Chain A
Amino acid sequence: MKKRLWRDFLILLVLFLGAWIFFTYYPVVDSEQVKITFNDKEKEIKEKLIELFDYKQADSDTTQILRALGELKHLLSEKDLEYELFFSDSKEINAYALPGNMIVINRGIIMECDTPEELIGVIAHEIGHLKMKHHTDQLLATLGLELLLAGSSSTAGEVSKILTQSAFSREMETEADDFAIKKMKELNISPNYLAKLFKKMYKKTEYIPEFLNSHPGINNRISKFSSYPFEESSLEFTFDWLKVKNSL
């Protein structure tokens, strides 16, 4: 009986491995074709989001703010990450990262920034989320595996709601903060600029702004960024930040 058991086991193993190897070399569907379909789907979701929230892409020469954001984007370019920066005409003090490597900056948070360096810190923080693919973890945690299995474009509305309204975990925020510090140091900008922005936001509003709400203990965060000595940045921009803000 033992021999027959081993024989059966080997038959199953050979069948499994044989079928796997066979379909690898004689594919029913070509993986390249699937990749194209997936990329199209991602593009479709991205377009729906832009349409739904009326995001304006940085880099276009139409308004002062988009030109300024375009300049900041080039300054913060990453070798291994192609991302797109968008402006949203929302007064909510918020900025967020979305799948498809999108970063959205609200008018509300721009108005809070006294200098472009503060906004650079905010963008760097969001790049950190993108680089570490936090939105994937967040989506998986929120929607579970259903998204992986169903993933229909009709759920774009629901997905975008979760992405823009729900929070990243404390651990993710800390990772993104660390990335922002690293990036700001690379550009010779003191991370203290972000501490200044957070303090302003915290003092000004009675409620905790959305951008800070999900983040690890606000006081901890402010003290983390404050621990870096403040030094005036020597970066020069082609735009006048005050004029850009007044144009909004």
Chain B
Amino acid sequence: MSTEYYQIQQPEDLPAREREDAMGAYFMMFASLAAGLPLPIINLIAAIIYYHVNKHKSRFVRFHSLQSLLSQLPVSLLNAGLVVWAISFFKYDFNFDNTFLAYLIVVLMANLLYLGFSIVAAIKARKGLMYYFIFFGKLSYEIIYKIKEEEEHIYRNNPPI
């Protein structure tokens, strides 16, 4: 059984407004800076809101919004883990070791990679192009573009039995 997918829109079919909306999804990462707080969770909340606001727009916008949201989840979790770990040093013993420092470096790298890829994706989206992140790109494509069986099914209202 072959899986059916909706057709991907081409740059010439996408109005400027939609391209800007798609680009906006990636700029949600700056939301926490705007809020003036170093809390990673603000980014995530902003991305979730943005995804819901754009839920009824074209698949192109939804794809970019979802990709931005999904790719933010692990980064936010890693950041939250770092904050909790750091606080535990102050609350409990200052048991600072290389495992923590290595985690700090990996989290920093993850943030930088996320930032870099998001900027590239935002530029591509502005040009009306698709851009697939590793894993998150495929996952978003699967969720947004896959034709679900129930969508084809027409529901009928029936009287009570």
- What's the nearest-Cβ distance from chain B to residue A55, in Å? 23
Alpha-carbon distance A24/B103, docked complex (angstroms): 8
Indicate if the CB atoms of A9 and B90 lie closer than 8 Å.
Answer: no
Residue with the greatest number of chain B CB neighbours at <10 A, chosen from A20, A25, A30, A149: A20
Q: Which residue of A lies closest to B78 (CB)?
A: A16
B15 at the interface (CB under 8 A from A): no
Segment of A31-39, A111-119, A219-227, A233-241 engaged in the interface with chain B: A31-39
A19-B106, A24-B99 known; A35 vs B94 contact (CB < 8 Å): yes
Number of A-B contacts (CB under 8 A): 75
A12-B135, A145-B38 given; A31·B105 CB < 8 A: no
| A145 contact set on B, CB distance < 8 A | 37-39, 83
Known contacts A8-B134, A28-B101, A133-B91: A19-B109 contact under CB 8 Å: yes
Contact of A8 with B96 at beta-carbon distance under 8 Å, contacts A23-B105, A146-B38, A148-B87 already known: no
A242 CB–B CB distance under 8 Å: no
Instruction: Give the most central of B86, B91, B135, B138: most A CB within 10 Å.
Output: B135
Q: Do residues B134 and A12 form an inter-chain contact, with CB atoms below 8 A? A: yes
Among A8, A20, A148, point to the contact of B138 (Cβ < 8 A). Answer: A8
Shortest beta-carbon distance, A80 to chain B, in Å?
10
Q: Which residues of B contact A140 (CB under 8 A)?
A: 87, 90
Question: CB-CB contacts of A1-18 with B at 8 A, as 1s and 0s?
Answer: 100110011011000100
Number of interface residues of B (CB under 8 A): 29
B100 at the interface (CB under 8 A from A): yes
Task: Judge whether B110 is part of the interface by a CB distance below 8 angstroms.
Answer: yes
In chain B, positions 66-104 with a C-beta closer than 8 Å to chain A are 74, 83, 86-87, 90-92, 94, 96-103
Q: Which of A183-199 contact B (CB under 8 A)?
A: none
Q: Report the separation of the CA atoms of residues A136 and B86 in the bound assembly, to the nearest whole angstrom.
A: 12
A137, B135: Cβ atoms under 8 Å?
A: no
CB contacts under 8 Å to B, within A106-155, are 133, 136-137, 140, 145-146, 148-149
Q: What are 15 A-B pairs at a CB distance below 8 A?
A: A1-B3, A1-B142, A19-B105, A23-B98, A24-B99, A25-B98, A31-B98, A31-B101, A34-B96, A34-B101, A136-B90, A136-B91, A140-B87, A145-B37, A145-B38
Q: Hey, which bits of chain A sit against chain B, CB under 8 A?
A: 1, 4-5, 8-9, 11-12, 16, 19-25, 27-31, 34-35, 38, 133, 136-137, 140, 145-146, 148-149
